[in-house]
């Protein structure tokens, strides 16, 4: 019996000696140029919006010439997209976790009116009013996070409902009254600080522009070099796998929404600097504009892929097309049409790029 088994084992080994000994290769040999481009864009999601931005600048530069290609126009675009860029950073954090926040604009405005009313109407020192506004924004974001992470409600439904709640609180608290820019300047000029300008050559910058650049740099570092940032990407890529690997997904999600609320409150401060006054009806499109910047900037609505730099580039793309079409003299509706087309193209490009991992 044992002799038969030994012979069979020898036969098996003899068959193995005749088998193919070549090692399988996975280096991408045989890919078409289109597949190489697909893999490159999958590994570098920011490149798509950068290419679109450069194409947009090239088109309007050739059509309009010197009126578009000058330092003042370029920095004016930066000034106009600064607030969208700040709110876009907050929205990027949420979307990276495969969520969405429709209440970011309402949190921004609510925080700004609380800062303004405390400092101008109630006589609270401006630095303390700012801190209270930041705390309110953080609290609003944390409430969203708890409802999403603990109560397990869909982010879209939670933030849609809280959008209306925050907006109603805003109008009840302010009685729909606007605080004039002169009153803000006299009682609490610190609230207008981010709207102050300084000049470098022919370029005019506001401190809000500097702030958004620093904010993007800060969160680019955090998302790519800290455990918290890696957990954000991991949850967005596969929440169940992240939880099985030991990540407390609920804690990370609540912290993401809270940080997003804090950033929105900071945007509220920048909003006062931008318009000078404190108005409960300002910035009502900020949430849609922020989502637009995030999507055009290459962050996937399915979570786990994207960057805050892409969001800033996405905001710049919208700014460049809006400014270029305005200077060219087109109807304002062409801007909305162009932005709508860019959103659809961005999502289509994301779907195509994601097929690499399918």
Tokens of 60: 């309007």
- Nearest alpha carbon to residue 166 among 194, 137, 193: 137
Rounded to whole angstroms, the maximal C-alpha distance in the chain is 103
pLDDT of residue 217: 96
Measured between alpha carbons, how far is 261 from 124 in angstroms, rounded to an integer?
Answer: 22
* Dihedral over alpha carbons 101, 147, 232, 285 (to 10 degrees): 10
Say what the pLDDT of residue 25 is.
54
Which residue is associated with the tokens 């070549």? 22
Per the CB < 8 A criterion, the answer to whether 79 and 208 are in contact is yes
Residue from 341, 349, 342 nearest 315 by CA: 342
Count the alpha carbons within 13 Å of 184 in the hemisphere toward its beta carbon: 26
Rounded CA-CA distance 323/332 in Å is 10
Alpha helices, DSSP H, located in the chain: 2-17, 33-43, 47-64, 71-96, 104-116, 126-149, 155-174, 181-187, 207-225, 227-237, 239-244, 249-275, 286-296, 308-328, 333-354
Among candidates 295, 281, 306, which has minimal Cα distance to 97? 306
Partner residues linked to 203 by β-bridges: 200
Both tokens assigned to 44: 């570098």
For residues 299 and 308, give the distance between their C-alpha atoms in angstroms, rounded to a whole number. Answer: 8
Of 91, 85, 24, nearest to 314 (Cα)? 85
Distance CA(140)–CA(155), nearest Å, equals 14
By the 8 A CB rule, do 118 and 136 touch?
Answer: no
Tokens of 141: 């974001």
pTM as predicted: 0.85
The pLDDT value given to residue 220: 95
Spans in the chain with pLDDT lower than 70:
1-30, 356-358
Instruction: Answer yes or no: are the C-beta atoms of 59 and 188 closer than 8 Å.
Output: no
Residue 229 pLDDT: 95
What's the rounded Cα separation, in Å, for the pair 21 and 232? 43
Asked if residue 286 lies in contact with residue 263, where contact means CB atoms within 8 angstroms, the answer is no
Residue 196 falls in which region: left (phi positive, over 0), alpha (psi -120 to 50) or beta? beta
- Asked if 292 and 339 count as a contact pair (C-beta separation under 8 A), the reply is yes
Contacts with 255 (C-beta within 8 Å, 6 or more apart), sequence order: 145, 228
Q: What is the pLDDT of residue 301?
A: 86
Residues 199-228 as b/e (b if ≥16 CB within 10 A, e otherwise) read eeeebbbbbbbebbeebbeebbeebeeeee
Residue corresponding to tokens 């289509």:
348
CA distance 238 to 119: 44
Sign of torsion over alpha carbons 252, 254, 255, 261: positive
């Amino acid at each position: 019996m044992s002799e038969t088994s030994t012979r069979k084992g020898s036969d098996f080994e003899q068959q193995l000696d005749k088998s193919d000994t070549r090692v399988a290769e996975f280096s991408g040999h045989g890919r078409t140029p289109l597949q190489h481009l697909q893999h490159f864009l999958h590994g570098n999601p920011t490149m798509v919006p950068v290419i679109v931005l450069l194409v947009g600048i090239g088109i309007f530069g050739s059509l309009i010439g010197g009126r578009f290609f000058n330092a003042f126009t370029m920095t004016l675009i930066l000034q106009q997209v600064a607030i969208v860029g700040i709110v876009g950073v907050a929205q990027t954090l949420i979307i990276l976790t495969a969520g969405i926040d429709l209440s970011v604009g309402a949190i921004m405005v609510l925080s700004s009116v609380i800062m303004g009313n405390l400092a101008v109407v109630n006589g609270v020192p401006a630095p303390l009013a700012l801190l209270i506004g930041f705390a309110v924004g953080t609290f609003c974001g944390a409430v969203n996070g708890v409802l999403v992470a603990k109560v397990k409600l869909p982010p879209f439904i939670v933030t849609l409902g809280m959008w209306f709640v925050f907006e109603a609180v805003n109008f009840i608290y302010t009685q729909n009254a606007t605080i004039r820019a002169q009153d803000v300047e006299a009682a609490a000029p610190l609230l207008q600080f981010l709207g102050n300008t300084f000049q470098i050559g022919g370029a005019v910058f506001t401190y809000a522009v500097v702030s958004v650049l620093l904010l993007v740099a800060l969160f680019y570092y955090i998302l790519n070099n800290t455990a918290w940032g890696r957990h954000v990407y991991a949850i967005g890529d596969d929440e169940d796998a992240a939880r099985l690997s030991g990540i407390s997904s609920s804690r990370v999600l609540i912290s993401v929404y809270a940080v997003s609320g804090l950033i929105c409150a900071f945007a509220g401060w920048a909003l006062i600097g931008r318009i000078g006054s404190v108005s409960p009806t300002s910035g009502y499109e900020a949430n849609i504009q922020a989502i637009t910047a995030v999507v055009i900037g290459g962050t996937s609505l399915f979570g786990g892929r994207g960057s805050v730099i892409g969001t800033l580039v996405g905001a710049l793309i919208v700014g460049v097309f809006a400014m270029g079409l305005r200077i060219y003299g087109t109807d304002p509706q062409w801007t909305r049409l162009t932005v709508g087309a860019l959103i659809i193209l961005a999502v289509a490009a994301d779907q195509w790029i994601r097929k690499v991992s399918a």
